[in-house]
Chain A
């Protein structure tokens, strides 16, 4: 984990953005998004390194979800650059499907699994592989694919629920299934939006464990979360967004000591 390097909590945003483009897995520079005059993102700049896990905190309306929308191609920025994989790919030119195939997976704030499919079919659909419409008419599952799915079932601990409908799972199980689906996609970068909302403490701890495990296997992860205990459990570098740009960045202790962060988000 590359979380705790030498950055001061009050280092200017520009300095972070100037990090070498070719090293970063994800590179955002000066990204601005406006909805009907409201600036959802205001010249947002940051980078994510390969293999890094990053937690993003910030008050409601700080632009966390919009940031994810921009990275995954759902929203086009008015201004700014978004590059992936060492500056090789300009994400602002691609649509959701292309970005997903490049290796960026996303878990939504509200868990969205395919409710009318069984748990195992949910994973089969997500599994990395053929995406073409005509080719999938005659597709058969290979032994390797079956093995991979079994592996994911172990990781997300849903082996006992293979043949239940996705919609019949509990809230926490759906969150895990969705993370499992992300794993099946085998992305280079996972964007996870509020994974522990509505979970019990035990589930929250398990989820933190799960994400650390995923990260340890070489996936970069960006987690948006309000739950400070969870963020602390993750033990990674933290970035606080406010009014569409980065307010502070560093370890959780550094960020939570920041005057502005306390003022706008944490409270005294």
Chain B
């Protein structure tokens, strides 16, 4: 049988500015049979997106194909004229981009955009296309398939937009669809829905797919074959089970090792002191005018309480929009709160950073999220660090320079980096500098806001190792805000689960997979993909088996103090959950949970 996609000895070169041409893709060959899914795996800069886009005949400006052939569904892509390429794209092969949020035009209704590629190729009249689109919406398990097309991108969630984009790609009944990290920007609970929808639609239509990703557990769910790319060359190719379970190549093994959920908890080390360094008590943060009750119009962080012991590590986990970053801003004094208090070593902190004593500011440090924007691009690394050193310790000249070298060594970087500009560093290096700057203050507690989110798996693993080392060597306490449950479990002792601005559960991180938990914690835990083929189907089946109780009459009464997870909860009890606010329940050595259920189901829990 002739393969649908056949790539032979593909070579792509590119140049930066007026420099010499450098190879970006080197001698890449692969083939995909009809109806199969191939995964391209690699870290950023490995050339995986470049290869995927070359299938559509698209090469970024400044680059060109310097050798090899690409054959897609009978078309010789490299030999096509511009016009032939246009007629092929969108009809024979289509593309689903990473960030659906920015791929849709916010000013046009969804339906107009979804039918557009098919209209361009004059496949069917508009009315028939709209009918086909609605069928696709249904197949992709989108809510209200009849009317969702009339809505605008801003009214829909990221997961829904990603599925709509897949619908757009499938409108023309293409033979090949290229997916470029379509679920990377999504929460795990959404990702599972999107993956399941993709998989069933593709199988139903016999579409051949290429799936670009760095997430190996996603590969296990969706692909049949996989290719590991590094620096533009194929390191290993084979079936998914071979690559995931018997990797031959050293680099594939390293990738797998980094993705493996491993514990960095040091065994047998004395438990962290019970005295807490930071206490958050009943914190309420929000935006807008305050109402008569003294609460803000839009509450983002809702009566949150937790504490971080000296030298301890607390993980805060939750999906996007749950108030994680607002909480971080409030703790660092950048967003005033409306109620509650924050204690550092037992002393109340002001909600405004300028009102805090210098000593208090020194002890509590923020490490911000985005490695690309966290360093001032016009200052050298040395200048950035020196400023922090001088600000906190008053050291100058020679002494300050020595301290900068010390800090760089502390985060395992060469002191020679001090003369570089941020643009000359990699993402991982920037994040280490980010840490070094916080360490310049000699802090007691460091607040890390999604610091590994934008990093490759291998690099992120190294950052987590660094955090654990700093905790051990300097006795630092951490608050680690993340949406990555694996990362959290590997380094944190305790975890706080945030949903819709409320802490629905606080407990030991090690016990997350077992015992009783809040329904949301369970959902979160079950949604993290495992590196087992078939996990997706199993989980989906289990979810479907958990029959959702009948829709509650008025589920949107969050302001009445009812459970915030009410509308999504599979275990809700009519007449209880929709009428009375959930109590806080706790178990000895176990989590503290904000839920009704334990009392009714398990007698061993006490309120």
Does B associate with A?
no
